[in-house]
Amino acid sequence: LIPYKVFGPVCESGDVLARDARLPQMYAGDVVVFFEAGAYCRSMASHYNLRTIPAEVFARDGQIEDFIPAIDPTAALDPQFAQADAFASTVAARRSVRKFDENKPIPADVMQRSLDHALLAPNSSNLQMWEFYWVRNAEKKQKLVKACLSQPAARTASELVVCVARTDTWSANRQRMLDVLGRANSENVSKSVMKYYEKLLPFAMNQGPLGLFGLLKIIGVWCIGIFKAVPRQPTSRSDMRVWSVKSTALACENLMLSLRSQGFDTCAMEGFDGVRVKKLLGLPRRGSEIVMVVAAGAAKPEGIYGPRVRFDKCFYVFEV
């Protein structure tokens, strides 16, 4: 017997594996019990925004009416499993919400905490090539909504955050890292780390005027690569964009999962006019890339347009 609790907007109440089966209407706080474990339960839980209840559960003679009162949501678990369960529940609960309740604002401290969590994301060489613009000014917010094509997620969101990747701030951030390393105890900082930030990073990141240095690096990397493994990017401004966007996207995921863990939902929007967004925020046309605009708020039930669809794992995960 696997107990789940409804904790978010619920889609159409049907069995995802048996289309003719029907479930009663469910609401947040209701408890649902499945008699099978494994992929079936995980699929149902994801489909209906259910969370496994972290408790020691007992059933008498398999009777659900006796089973339900025995659930103690506060029962202690091994902390390791409790953390894993909480994370799995947060990941499963994150859905792209297109309509938010405009009467339920997100507290400022929740937004600040989520932005702090975004900044803890892993990133290349710890250069932190991201910027997050939390648009709070009412006039700018309305302009941003229009730049996002006035789509429902932007129009109804309590908060909008523009997530930006920068390719032109690596040198300043490299110097910040050198300052931090310089203040650290020299015995705790290896020479290889200092060499990396002092010499290797400038060589890797600097593409030169008109990208000419990058062209020379392409030739050099190709020649060296004949004889041994060698990093082959970045050797162009295009590579720099990909490099910075990857790290920023990781931070965006942190932001969205953090908001979900605190009871709010998001929609990562790519439908926007990047030129207008950059102009609104005073960003340079070159050296900055709008990765996404994250709309956030309290989800409306109709804000989730349908069940989550994921194709079979065999198409994407390979053991080699």
Where is pLDDT greater, at 77 or 293? 293
Of residues 184, 236, 231, the one with CA closest to residue 205: 236
- Evaluate whether the domain defined by 108-168+239-303 bears CATH number 3.40.109.10: yes
What gap in Å lies between CA 266 and CA 160, rounded to an integer?
9
pLDDT tens readout for residues 220-256: 888 989 999 888 888 888 999 999 999 999 999 999 9
Q: How confident is the model at residue 54 (pLDDT cuts 50, 70, 90)?
A: very low
- The reported pTM is 0.74
* pLDDT value for 82: 66
Point out the least confidently predicted range of 41-55, 197-211, 294-308.
41-55
- Give start and end residues of each alpha helix (H) in the chain: 39-47, 64-67, 79-93, 108-118, 138-147, 152-156, 170-183, 191-195, 201-205, 212-225, 237-261, 274-281
CA gap 193, 196 in Å, rounded:
5
**CATH 3.40.109.10 residue spans of the chain:** 108-168+239-303
Q: What is the pLDDT of the chain when averaged over all its residues? A: 82
- The pair of three-digit structure tokens given for residue 87, joined into one six-digit string: 């994370």
**Contact status, residue 259 vs residue 299, Cβ threshold 8 Å:** no
Instruction: Identify the band that residue 46 occupies on the pLDDT scale cut at 50, 70 and 90.
Output: low
